[in-house]
Amino acid sequence: MTFKYPGGKTYKTKQESELVHHFQPNYGNRGMTLEEDLNATNEYYREHGIAIIHKKPTPIQIVRVDYPKRSAAVIKEAYFKQASTTDYNGVYRGKYIDFEAKETRNKTSFPLQNFHEHQIYHMKQVLDHGAICFVILRFTTLNEIYLLDANHLLTFWERQKNGGRKSMTKQEIEQYGHYISLGYQPRIDYIKVVEKIYF
């Protein structure tokens, strides 16, 4: 009998998972999304008393629900209540932290279309209040991750608005951003970079 999670993913016992993992080659943990890696990292930070960072829930309004069985409800129609701001926020060493996480398959540039006007406006507001604000950018095909201060992102955004290029080059990200090496625990130790550049 096959069991599935609510999202449709097939449930496997620990033994099955270990068996599959044992026989599959390791490709640098390519199956993990940036969000999953960051969520695991944030959990590590919370458990070890390093920082309190959470993923912001996306507010949705449920319109229609079907009840095929008494014990199960299926959402058939819903919409976003409002435009989301950034992905993550929290506190580190008494300072408010707010950041967005994005990934691209491009190897030489990061498209600015990955960001929305309301997110840029939100980041500017956060910076205006003296908080720490940045973006974490992953080049998925290269498996490279960078932390870029929001001030630099705002500069590139303005350049685009004034008719300039619609992306940040990888060289620009390397120049103004900070490389984050991947680890095991935590997976993406961005707080180490935050400590270095903001404190």
pLDDT tens digits, 164-188:
999 999 999 999 999 999 998 999 9
* 145 contact partners, CB below 8 Å, separation of at least 6: 34, 136, 137, 138, 139, 179, 180, 182, 188
Q: Is the peptide bond before 186 cis (omega within 30 degrees of 0)?
A: yes
Print the domain residue range for 123: 29-57+83-198
User: Full-prediction pTM beyond 0.85?
Assistant: no
- The answer to whether 125 is annotated as binding is no
| Residue 68 falls inside a structural domain | no
Q: Confirm whether residue 119 is marked as ligand binding.
A: yes
CATH label of the domain that carries residue 193 = 3.40.1350.10
Residue 66 lies in a domain: no
Place 196 in a pLDDT band, splitting at 50, 70 and 90: very high
Domain count, the chain: 1
Residue 100, annotated as binding a ligand: yes
Say what the pLDDT of residue 60 is.
65
Q: What is the pLDDT of residues 71-112, one digit of tens each?
A: 777 777 766 555 668 999 999 999 999 999 999 999 999 999
For residue 89, is it within any domain? yes
Report the C-alpha gap between 76 and 40 in whole angstroms.
30
Q: How far apart are the first and last CA of the chain?
A: 54
